[in-house]
A = this chain, B = another copy of it.
Amino acid sequence: MFESAEVGHRIADREYKRAVTKLREDLLKAQYDLISRKSFQLIVLTGGVDGAGKSETVNVLNEWMDPRGISTHAFGAMSEDERERPKMWRYWCALPPKGRMAILFGAWDADPIAERVHGDTDEAEFELALGNIVGFERMLANEGALILKFWFHLSKKAQKKRLKALSSDPKTRWRVTDAEWERFEHYDRYRKVSEIAVRETSTSYAPWMIVEGTDANYRYLTVGRMLLEAMRKRLAGKKPVITRTAVLPPPPLDGRSLLSQVDYRASLGDSEYKRMLEKYQRELNLLMRHKKLRRKSIIAVFEGVDAAGKGGSIRRVTGALDARQYQVIPIAAPTDEESARPYLWRFWRHLPRKGRMTIFDRSWYGRVLVERVEKLCAEDDWMRAYEEINDFEEQLIEANCVVTKFWLTISKQEQLKRFRAREKTPFKTFKITRDDWRNRAKWDDYERAVGDMIERTSNRPAPWILVPGNDKHWARISVLKTLCERIDAAL
């Protein structure tokens, strides 16, 4: 597939100069449109062989366009902070907000290729990694990003010539180190692996565009024009929606659902509750100080029906811990910085380091719960979220994170009782708003959404724990006990 980039494309200087003036102006215009409309973010990935002109081209783009609207990131060895999070975390953090453009060197596309070339992964792992990239980029595209990927190619002969030329010029000698020559030794293998990667991660929404790297004029003009065309097309049209066909099953004919079957009878008396609270809080405290926990992180997600007792349960968990070990993230409306990025970004930024716990009071599941029921996002958007969430949690688990998700539920009758009690207690009135009554009116819609959510996102490594909460004692102990068991099993 790289043959088309070995034909010796060339643009004469005169033609180049004539074309560039207009191209620069057009690119700048398109960029200002992007900046002023803030309708999407532009992500440019660069890949390819050493010496094929990646960094020169990026510098030229920064020269042609306004560098104030562009961030350029190169990814080398991981820092401490990065090693303590999922592999993808540093790329997540580098994603630009809407209205801006980011150029990424050696981002998520580079790792699977390098690992396969060095034999660190087998073919199945390589294929899996490529599949993950396709899924990740599909999510980005669906979240509004315009993704362009440029692959800079040189034939083996051309690369050798280029590396030699670079190393014989004192001004560029520093760029060709042993690492470059070592990679050149693997040219054939690198090419073979890259071909597979480029083919399998080229999609309609994030295509690789192969650019012959021999002639600078050709290279710059080609990249500039492809960039311009893609930006113009997107600025003129709408965000394309790319979903896999996914269908939810219809509601069951007999009206029975997971939630309607919950048994609320279990309860705990005062003294039994006290005893067990002490027991499991002590256990959780010891577990969190376990030596092996230094290599794990913990995420606990709390979702549930309004007034089911999320806050009370969270406080029984934090009551067991040292305040320096955990962070509770209450999820409210997104800030403007959060709204300008993919919806998972506001959770990515709070992922715990090793040895720590993050408790999410509401979470990324808002997309398939409130956003679905209240129609705050399109059906396509929440439908694709199941898969995106599963991908995200898979990455957490791969990064040694223990993920547990609690759904706290109470009966419709119990909710009414609690709402009324809140309205009467002056100290608790802040806890009951018109929203709560409105949500309650949509009880059945929520029940269906929760059923679908659990069916599609509960799995062994990141299970949903259904906690009946009519009896607060029982609910709190269930949460603590489960958390202990989950952490214990992971150590």
Contacts and interface: CB of A to CB of B under 8 A. Distances in A.
A108 B314 CA distance: 30
A55 B323 CA distance: 8
A68 B360 CA distance: 9
B79 A315 contact: no
A240 interface: no
A330 interface: yes
A430 B67 contact: no
Interface residues on A, range: 35 or more
Nearest to A55: B322
Interface string A42-55: 00000000000001
Tally of this chain's copies? 2
Nearest to A29: B427
Interface stretch (A6-14, A69-77, A248-256): A69-77
A324 B55 contact: yes
A148 to B, nearest CB: 16
A1 B157 CA distance: 79
A318 B430 contact: no
A317 B330 CA distance: 43
Nearest to A63: B319
Contact of A323 (B62, B66, B318, B336): B62
A68 B318 CA distance: 10
* 7 shortest interchain CB distances as A-B pairs: A72-B323, A68-B330, A74-B324, A67-B318, A68-B328, A58-B323, A67-B328
25 contacts: A25-B427, A36-B430, A58-B323, A58-B324, A59-B321, A61-B323, A62-B319, A66-B311, A67-B315, A67-B323, A67-B326, A67-B328, A68-B328, A68-B361, A69-B330, A70-B323, A71-B327, A72-B323, A72-B324, A72-B327, A79-B81, A80-B80, A81-B81, A174-B289, A335-B335
